[in-house]
Amino acid sequence: DAGITQSPRHKVTETGTPVTLRCHQTENHRYMYWYRQDPGHGLRLIHYSYGVKDTDKGEVSDGYSVSRSKTEDFLLTLESATSSQTSVYFCAIRTSGSGGSGANVLTFGAGSRLTVL
Amino acid sequence: GDSVTQMEGPVTLSEEAFLTINCTYTATGYPSLFWYVQYPGEGLQLLLKATKADDKGSNKGFEATYRKETTSFHLEKGSVQVSDSAVYFCALSPPGGGGGNKLTFGTGTQLKVEL
């Protein structure tokens, strides 16, 4: 079982406050991802990382930043939370498939439910 | 860009009924295709995958065949159980893992199985 934990699992905050979600892995995987899940939209990619200090934007990156200073940790920050960022956030790691195989299997964390009032 | 379209839910079935959840995709080349399942309160889990045309992925009685000619990857199960109640997501990744090895997901289809 891939060791991937997210924290906090639940958070309620107010509009305008900063929020940081943490994703921690124990297996030294290179690729890590942050998705958000909303009704009617499925999962949408926010940011991803392909190594320490190597990150790139996904399709819904506005209002979010990420950092990866260590292989095992991938942080998602909302600099100034808004109600539209109320969502369930999932971290994922790429756990199999070499560069050319195309079999990009992702393993997901349990999710972090964020409510912005 | 790449996209995945799934049938709208919820789908409600009686136990032992036959299940089909439709999935079609738009992508260049030959992407890899996946079905993930999400049980209540949990993260997504890989259910099955197929990496090339005509491949059949299977797991836990579920099957899906990669159809390049119809750009489809429909999920099927011959006899569903109450424990199959969950949300099912179809997804694709670019050929060769290009573009950061990202997965593009459909919107999900909720399945409810009743006794």
Average pLDDT of the segment spanning B88-100: 81
pLDDT tens digits, residue range B5-31?
998 889 999 999 999 999 999 998 889
pLDDT confidence of A102, banded at 50, 70, 90?
Answer: very low
Chain A positions touching B89 (Cβ under 8 A) are 42-43
Partners of A81 in beta bridges:
none
3-state class (DSSP) for residue B103: coil
Closest chain B residue by Cα to residue A94: B101
Average pLDDT of the segment spanning B57-71: 96
The one-letter amino acid at B92: L
Long-range contacts of range B68-71, CB-CB < 8 Å, 24 or more positions apart? B68/B30, B70/B24, B71/B24, B71/B25, B71/B26, B71/B27
φ, ψ for residue B96 (rounded to 5)?
Answer: 70, 10
The one-letter amino acid at B20: T
3-state class (DSSP) for residue B102: coil
pLDDT confidence of B90, banded at 50, 70, 90?
Answer: very high
Q: Do A90 and B44 touch (CB under 8 A)?
A: yes
Closest chain A residue by Cα to residue B102: A104
Q: Do A44 and B32 touch (CB under 8 A)?
A: no
Specify the pairing of strand B86-93 against strand B75-77.
Answer: unpaired
**Stretch 84-113 of chain B: residues touching chain A, C-beta under 8 Å:** 89, 93-97, 100-108
Shortest alpha-carbon distance between residue A26 and chain B (Å): 17
Q: Is A71 within 8 Å of A52 (Cβ atoms)?
A: yes
Q: Do A109 and B49 touch (CB under 8 A)?
A: no
Residue A97 has pLDDT above 90, yes or no: no
- Cα of first residue to Cα of last residue in chain A, in angstroms, is 36
User: How far apart are the C-alpha atoms of B5 and B71, rounded to whole Å?
Assistant: 11
Average pLDDT of the segment spanning B27-54: 92
Mean pLDDT of chain B: 92
Average pLDDT of the segment spanning A33-55: 94
Partner A contacted by B61 (CB < 8 A):
no
Q: CA angle, A108 as apex, A95 and B13 as ends, to 5°?
A: 120
Q: CA angle, B89 as apex, B86 and B90 as ends, to 5°?
A: 145
Q: Is B50 within 8 Å of B65 (Cβ atoms)?
A: yes
Of B104, B105, B108, B83, give the one whose Cα is nearest residue B11.
Answer: B108
**Stretch 87-106 of chain A: residues touching chain B, C-beta under 8 Å:** 90, 92, 94, 97-106
Partner B contacted by A40 (CB < 8 A):
yes
